[in-house]
DNA sequence: TATTAATTTCAGAAGAATTGAAGTAAGCGC
DNA sequence: GCGCTTACTTCAATTCTTCTGAAATTAATA
């Protein structure tokens, strides 16, 4: 059986024009090279050089030089692609994330992650938690970042950080004059605008308030605009409001339990691609730290 | 260093879905296959299969399956091309031959030669002996078939057959009534048409006759037409006249020395390509036999 | 023709791959 | 959930391959 390594030796000899230099180049003795060549000629079925001074090729030798070079080049390239992929230097990474993280956390994280992996292709979807889970489950996204959900199913949840809910209202709102954290009962008279995130709050008092609410807005920008316009107030995770919107007030809630847990969502059965695994490790280490800093803790 | 053989084993396992079958397919034991796989994973830098039951690939495994398959396919193809070339099943063959051989000898020879080598590309040039030598010398033709020449030079001559000259004249010509071979002296009164081939005759008597000739024709068809039209007579190698032209007479010459030696013309320094070498051997064996039969000896 | 340099050959040494047996883990039926 | 079967891995010994260094051969050069 002809080996690629034999072709490699032959090409080196053909390029050097003699065995001694080629032997040095491949790191063997001249006798080893000579034997490899002899064996190659036997297996191919013809002489490769015109004389035993290896400075001129036969027609067969020329053909083998061309084909051999190409094979070596192609093989080495394939191997380097395999290695690059295994070491997560290339590959594609599809991330599905809730908007608050996609907007406030992922940009610097991705920037640093990609600094050492300039060849990695990234797709980022910002969608709500339920859809994040769906995308991961279906394999469209390699990894997701979403709020915790009870159902286990085919996806696994790994916590990254907790995020307390806060109250967002117009700057002129009566509640701004309270000099203490807001109780749910303080909101009885207020107009509450529901949103996708706040629906996750478990507190009975809040659920009751929400049940009476007539408006639900899913887009944060619209939500803030409505609050600013004085249409009502809303409850959002603090990360969502990071970088404080002008013309609105952010108030603390008294209910310490009103928080969401945000974490990684991954498929349980399918092992991650190397890039996904690398991103997972990176995210697990860097996101909690970044969020702590962002939220000033 | 990653070996193509390891990729071959991996691809087989990936395709079989288990080690045992793959081991049978490649003709080793399961433990050997297992070790090869382990080593491959170490060298690539990541796992290839999801579990140690080898029925589902990781993302890296899928990539390697694709790339590996392609490498194996391409390598095997290259090797088969090399072998085919070495065994002269493929390649190109450029033959330069004098017209008499190109017309009367080469067709059946080439037909038989190519029967076992349907992939070989052949070029055939029919030109005079001097040009045959020039084409071989310049490397445009791999091999030539021409009359012998004194000058050695860069080309080598190997005899194939001898071919006596004969006289060609109109059927009504006076010489037809001679009941013996024609002597040079018989031609003193005749009109001789010279041609490329007959100029090679060394006999002084002939040279004198030729010196007085006023017409030289290089193309055999034209030459015969002129003879048939009664313009004169000419001297040609018998092979050239094989398959007797209608309306002309072919007469024996008394001068037994009036013959040409036809043979192979090859470059001395450059070894022939495998196809050329095969054709050389074939020609050396088959052409003399065929000519003997053609000329009825 | 003698000298030098390169290549080949050969036998032994080193290294790599393979084997078979034993051990471990995974899947399957009860 | 438990034991049974099957598949895979590990290990040490063996076999096969490749490599080396010295000697012999061959080609080129003076």
B118-150 per-position pLDDT tens digit: 999 999 999 989 999 999 999 999 999 999 987
- Between CA A23 and C1' D22 the distance (Å) reads 18
The pLDDT, as a whole number, for residue A244 is 65
The pLDDT, as a whole number, for residue A151 is 65
DSSP structure class, residue A262: E
Q: Which of A14, A26, A19, A24 is nearest to A65 (CA)?
A: A14
Q: In which element (H, E) is residue A229 found? A: none
- B54 C-beta less than 7 Å away from strand D: yes
Question: What's the sign of the alpha-carbon dihedral A144, A150, A154, A157?
Answer: positive
* B281 touches A: beta carbon within 8 Å: no
- Between CA A115 and C1' D29 the distance (Å) reads 60
The tens digit of pLDDT for each residue in B68-83 reads 999 999 999 999 999 9
Q: Which nucleotide is nearest to A6 (CA to C1')?
A: D18
The pLDDT, as a whole number, for residue A33 is 97
> Looking at chain A, which residue has its C-alpha nearest residue B5?
A3
Q: Which of B233, B147, B229 is nearest to B194 (CA)?
A: B233
* A3 touches B: beta carbon within 8 Å: yes
CB pairs under 8 A between A and B: 92
Question: How much is the average pLDDT of B6-16?
Answer: 97
The pLDDT, as a whole number, for residue A214 is 87
The pLDDT, as a whole number, for residue B205 is 86
Range name among A236-245, A268-277, B88-97, B182-191 with the lowest pLDDT average: A236-245
The pLDDT, as a whole number, for residue B297 is 57
Geometric angle at alpha carbon B243, from B173 and B142, rounded to 5°: 120
For chain A, the straight-line distance linking the first and the last C-alpha, in angstroms and rounded, comes to 66
- Between CA A110 and C1' C29 the distance (Å) reads 49
- Give percent above pLDDT 90 in chain B: 65
Give me the torsion for CA of A237, A243, A248, A252, rounded to 10°: 40
> Looking at chain B, which residue has its C-alpha nearest residue A83?
B44
Chain A partners within 8 Å of B46 (Cβ): 85-87, 274
The reply to whether residue A82 touches residue B58, judged by beta carbons under 8 angstroms, is no
Q: In which element (H, E) is residue B262 found? A: strand B259-267
The tens digit of pLDDT for each residue in A204-245 reads 888 888 888 888 998 888 888 899 888 899 999 999 887 767
Closest Cβ–Cβ partner in A60, A64, A274 for B46: A274
Query: How many angstroms away from the CA of B11 is the closest CA of chain A?
Result: 14
Chain B partners within 8 Å of A5 (Cβ): 1, 3
The tens digit of pLDDT for each residue in A146-174 reads 999 876 678 889 999 999 999 999 888 88
The pLDDT, as a whole number, for residue A127 is 93
Cα–Cα distance measured from residue B48 to residue A217, given in angstroms and rounded to the nearest whole number = 46
> Looking at chain B, which residue has its C-alpha nearest residue A71?
B75
Q: Which of B268, B242, B277 is nearest to B113 (CA)?
A: B277
SS3 of A186-205: the string is HHCCCCEEEECCHHHCCCHH
Cα–Cα distance measured from residue A269 to residue B29, given in angstroms and rounded to the nearest whole number = 30
CA atoms within 13 A on the CB side of A241: 27
Q: Measure CA to C1' and name the residue nearest D26.
A: A52
- B42 C-beta less than 7 Å away from strand C: no
Nucleotides of D under 7 A from a protein CB: 7-11, 18-23, 26-28
Mapped onto helix, strand or coil, the DSSP state of residue A236 is strand
The pLDDT, as a whole number, for residue A150 is 75
The tens digit of pLDDT for each residue in A176-193 reads 888 888 998 888 888 999
The tens digit of pLDDT for each residue in B220-272 reads 888 888 998 888 899 999 998 877 677 888 999 998 888 999 999 999 888 99
The tens digit of pLDDT for each residue in A61-115 reads 999 999 999 999 999 999 999 999 999 999 999 999 999 999 999 999 999 999 9
The reply to whether residue B67 touches residue A81, judged by beta carbons under 8 angstroms, is yes
Question: How much is the average pLDDT of A194-207?
Answer: 86
Token pair belonging to B277: 């070498």
Chain A partners within 8 Å of B274 (Cβ): 46, 59-60
Cα–Cα distance measured from residue B82 to residue A4, given in angstroms and rounded to the nearest whole number = 13
- B9 C-beta less than 7 Å away from strand D: no
Question: What's the sign of the alpha-carbon dihedral B94, B96, B97, B103?
Answer: positive
* B84 touches A: beta carbon within 8 Å: no
* B27 touches A: beta carbon within 8 Å: no
Question: How do A155-170 and A143-147 pair as beta strands?
Answer: unpaired
Best residue in A86, A268, A269 for a mutation probing chain B (most B CBs within 10 Å): A86
Q: Measure CA to C1' and name the residue nearest C24.
A: B52
Confidence of residue A297 (pLDDT cuts 50, 70, 90): low
* A66 touches B: beta carbon within 8 Å: no
């Amino acid at each position: 059986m002809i080996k690629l390594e034999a072709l490699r030796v032959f090409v080196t000899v053909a390029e050097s024009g003699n065995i001694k230099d080629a032997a040095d180049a491949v790191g063997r003795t001249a006798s080893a090279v000579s034997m490899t060549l002899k064996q190659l000629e036997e297996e191919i079925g013809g002489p490769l050089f015109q004389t035993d001074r290896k400075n001129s090729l036969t027609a067969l030798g020329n053909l083998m030089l061309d084909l051999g070079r190409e094979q070596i080049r192609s093989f080495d390239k394939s191997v380097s692609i395999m290695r690059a992929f295994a070491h997560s230097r290339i590959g594609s990474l599809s991330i599905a994330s809730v908007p608050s993280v996609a907007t406030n956390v992922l940009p610097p994280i991705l920037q640093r992650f990609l600094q050492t992996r300039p060849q990695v292709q990234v797709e980022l979807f910002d969608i709500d938690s339920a859809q994040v889970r769906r995308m991961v489950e279906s394999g469209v996204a390699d990894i997701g970042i979403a709020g915790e959900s009870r159902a286990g199913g085919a996806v696994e949840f790994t916590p990254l950080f907790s995020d307390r809910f806060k109250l967002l209202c117009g700057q002129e709102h009566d509640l701004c004059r309270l000099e203490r954290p807001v109780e749910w009962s303080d909101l009885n008279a207020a107009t509450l605008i529901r949103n996708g995130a706040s629906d996750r709050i478990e507190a009975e008092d809040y659920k009751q308030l929400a049940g009476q609410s007539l408006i639900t807005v899913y887009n944060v920008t619209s939500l803030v605009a409505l609050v600013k316009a004085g249409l009502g107030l809303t409850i959002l995770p603090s990360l969502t409001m990071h970088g404080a919107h002008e013309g609105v007030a952010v108030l603390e809630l008294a209910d310490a339990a009103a928080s969401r847990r945000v974490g990684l969502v991954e498929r349980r059965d399918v092992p991650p691609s190397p890039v996904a695994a690398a991103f997972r490790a990176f995210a697990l280490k860097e996101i909690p730290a970044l969020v702590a800093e962002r939220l000033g803790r």
